[in-house]
Structure 1
Amino acid sequence: MAIKRMDNMGIVVADLEGAVAFFRALGLNLEGQATIKGEWAGRVTGLGDQHVEVAMMSTPDGHSRLELSRFIDPPVEADHRTAPVNALGYLRVMFTVDDIDETLARLGDQGAQLVGDIVQYGETYRLCYIRGHEGLLIGLAQEL
């Protein structure tokens, strides 16, 4: 049996409303928000009785989704947001944008900061990493 698709990528945040605003400024659409509470949800995550607020964001083409979660209970146990780009494990999400310069200007108003430089990969892409809302590592790619 084959995989049908990747459904979404999840990011845990402390400030859900701020994260939603940041990813909306990037160009994602808010599909919906919900509160998930109870032991049944904890059976999936292994966290037991849990209480979490979730916002589902989607790319304009509708093919990719980002699930933003704010855990109320149990409390967050670890923070990987300041890990360097060569750290093991899930690290960043990358988006293709129309114009990196315009995107950086728009996200700068949201507090985003360039990690290194904007570089050109051959004749194919312009690439960069930014630290966005709450220091989340985000890659931006502009097709040439």
Structure 2
Amino acid sequence: MTDTRRGSIQRLDNIAVVVDDFEAAKAFFGELGLELEGEATVAGDSVDRLIGLTGVRSDIAMMRTPDGHARLELTKYHSPSPLAGDPQAPPNVLGAHRVMFAVKDIDDIVERLRPHGAELLGEVVQHENSYRLCYLRGPAGILVALAEQLG
């Protein structure tokens, strides 16, 4: 179906998450299989006006999925100082977010991410005969879901 409206979504470009340990977050998502596409420091009037804060200076790293179709932007704020959230907030908090990745060999990936601070929220479960799934907590409390298609 083609959207004939002038203003319409073309694609999901990226999802951004704020992190406190920039290097640890890059290592975590690198171990998961995302590729570092690029890094930059952003600051100045246009950034301030864009996000509605004053005196912004932040580092960003764009991480790309191996298929090239999705990106995760990791953002480390130097100023203004980031506001503390609850890194242990459960997945049912209003406004909560999680990122889900399709994977092969979910057990291997969970074990490889543990040295990077990953913790299972519950268990790896099988949904019918179609998927094995789990939720992990990653850097800065980011919720990461993994889905391994069966068969």
Task: Provide the TM-score with structure 2 as the length reference.
Answer: 0.91
5 Å-filtered alignment, 1:98-113, equals 98-113=104-119
Structure 1 runs, 4 residues or longer, greater than 2 Å off = none
Q: Shift of residue 137 of structure 1? A: 1.3
Opposite residue 134 of structure 1, the aligned amino acid is: A
Asked if structure 1 preserves the Cα contact closer than 8 Å seen for 2:24 and 2:116, the reply is no
RMSD, aligned CA: 1.1
Corresponding residue number in structure 2 for 1:41: 47
Deviations 1:17-56 (A, max 9, x none): 1100110000000001100011210111011231000000
CA distance in 2, matches of 1:41, 1:111: 31
State the percentage of identical aligned residues.
Answer: 49
Q: Shift of residue 91 of structure 1? A: 1.7
Corresponding residue number in structure 2 for 1:72: 78
Which one has the largest radius of gyration?
Answer: 2
CA distance in 1, matches of 2:120, 2:20: 21
5 Å-filtered alignment, 1:47-66, equals 47-66=53-72
Corresponding residue number in structure 2 for 1:140: 146
Structure 2 unmatched runs, 5+: none
